[in-house]
Amino acid sequence: MPEGPEIWRTADLLTESLKNDTITDLYFAFDELKDYESKLKGKSVKNVKARGKAILTYFEGDTVMYSHNQLYGKWMVSEAGEEPDTNRSLRVAIHNGKKSAYLYSASQIEILGKQEISEHSYIKKLGPDVLHPETTYEDILAQYTSDEFKNRKLTTLLLDQGFVSGIGNYLRSEIMFYAKVAPHQKLRAYSDEEKKALAKATVKLSVRSYETGGITNDPSIVEALKREGAKRSEFRHFVYKRTDDRCHKCGRIIEEEKTSGRKIYYCPNCQLEES
């Protein structure tokens, strides 16, 4: 499932491709949305914004399309009228004179009025979006120091969109590694300094992944590995999906562990087992 950085980059692409250009044609696969094909044709997209792992497409007037990619959803953009070669199921298509944007395989698509956004069942439960321009380090630190979350296990908490929105499985492992914390404790067990390190890592790696297209590793390590001819999968992350490979920082073997049905990855040397 795409995480916050990928969703924000998608929103940027859609904004660049669709904003302020007249919609020449529109397609909705779901019957309950069919009426909007004629209602929105001839209007324009005014903006596209990310909210956690969802995307809000603002049409001219009061109409907003909420879409959530879930596990398999994917937006693709092409030159006007050129449909991508894919076996995915088309859910939405938006065409203008320059570009066409296609949403495939997404299962959650709704049309809202602007006034309904804040009360949407998904959006109203979101914690601060780490990539939102108005979100600060202090906002993220406040989540880590809040009594509301202190009895939650860190590995579970980092996937809770009500804690910090946009974090998924790869950012979870990378944040814990960068903060140098053991991944097996409840939030209350971490020191104030470790919570500050976690907040810093949450912001830094989310922004880094957004800016680089998914790379969380230190730029110096990335460049060194590229010079050696390493593949993207070998330099993209510190620990995520690098089981049995050597840690880029200390050389120890990366380990994996399944928690709540999903794997975490960590370095037993860099992330001390006792805090």
Write out the chain's pLDDT in tens, 275 residues: 789 999 999 999 999 999 999 999 999 999 999 999 999 999 999 999 999 889 999 999 999 999 998 878 899 999 998 999 999 999 999 999 999 999 999 989 999 999 999 999 999 999 999 999 999 999 999 999 999 999 999 999 999 999 999 999 999 999 999 999 999 899 999 999 999 999 999 999 999 999 999 999 999 999 999 999 999 999 999 999 999 999 999 999 999 999 878 899 999 999 976 43
Same domain, 83 and 26: yes
Provide the CATH number for the domain around residue 151: 1.10.8.50
Same domain, 118 and 161: no
Establish if 88 belongs to a structural domain.
yes
**Which of 9, 49, 53, 172 is an active site residue?**
53
pLDDT at position 272 is 72
**Which of 3, 6, 174, 194 is an active site residue?**
3
Same domain, 114 and 141: no
Distance CA 21, CA 44 (A): 6
Establish if 244 belongs to a structural domain.
yes
State the residue for tokens 């019957």. Answer: 31
pLDDT at position 273 is 60
Last residue of a domain, one of 69, 90, 123: 123
**Which of 114, 226, 232, 262 is an active site residue?**
262
pLDDT at position 135 is 96
CB 41 within 8 A of CB 25: yes
Same domain, 75 and 146: no
Q: If you count them, how many residues does the chain have? A: 275
Establish if 60 belongs to a structural domain.
yes
Establish if 132 belongs to a structural domain.
no
Same domain, 66 and 109: yes
Q: How many domains does the chain have?
A: 2
Residue of 93, 101, 82 lying closest to 26 (CA atoms): 93
Report how many helices (DSSP H) and strands (DSSP E) the chain contains, helices first: 8, 10
pLDDT at position 274 is 47
Distance CA 214, CA 217 (A): 9
Same domain, 115 and 147: no
DSSP-derived 3-state class of residue 213: coil
Same domain, 101 and 192: no
Establish if 178 belongs to a structural domain.
yes
Amino acid type, 218: D
Give me the domain span that covers residue 68.
4-123
pLDDT at position 275 is 39
Q: Tell me the pLDDT tens digit for each residue of 200-218.
A: 999 999 999 999 999 999 9
188 carries an active-site annotation: no
Last residue of a domain, one of 92, 123, 154: 123
Establish if 273 belongs to a structural domain.
no
Last residue of a domain, one of 123, 149, 166: 123
Provide the CATH number for the domain around residue 26: 3.20.190.10
Same domain, 189 and 69: no
Same domain, 160 and 59: no
Same domain, 79 and 197: no
34 carries an active-site annotation: no
- Per-residue burial over 117-145, b = 16 or more CB atoms within 10 Å of its CB, e = otherwise: beebebbeebbbbbbbeebeeebbbebbe
Establish if 68 belongs to a structural domain.
yes
Same domain, 60 and 117: yes
53 carries an active-site annotation: yes
Same domain, 100 and 188: no
pLDDT at position 184 is 87
Establish if 131 belongs to a structural domain.
no
